[in-house]
Amino acid sequence: MTVCWHDMRQAVPKGHPDCLTGKTFVITGSLESITRSGAEDLVKRHSGRVTTSVSGRTTFLVAGQDSGTRKVSTVSATAPNLKVSQG
C-alpha cells in the first residue's frame, strides 16, 4: 500500500495482521507522512487499539507537529514506560 499526502508517496511497512495485538496507541498532532485517520486505520488493521487520551494502558504515543502539550506532559505521570515516537 502507498499513502499519498502533500504530493509525497511513501510505502507503508507491512506487518502481520495481528502484530499490534495488545498495544494501545494515542496519536496527537499533525503527522508528516500520513493523516491521523490513516495512522489510526493502520493501527486498527494490525489489531492495535487507538484511544484519545494517555493512560496507564497506553503503549505508544505518536506525537506529530503541534502535538497536544497536555497529552505529552502527562506521559511521565501516567505511563512512565511509554514509548514516544515523534513523527
Q: Read out DSSP for 10-64?
A: EEPPP--TTTTTT-EEEEESB-SSS-HHHHHHHHHHTT-EEESS--TT--EEEE-
- pLDDT band of residue 82 (cuts 50, 70, 90) is low
pLDDT value of residue 1 = 32
Give the span between the Cα atoms of 56 and 33, in whole angstroms. 28
pLDDT tens column, 27-81: 888 888 888 898 999 999 999 999 998 888 888 888 888 876 777 777 767 766 6
CATH number at 16-86: 3.40.50.10190
- 85 strand-pairing partners: 62
Give the span between the Cα atoms of 23 and 83, in whole angstroms. 11
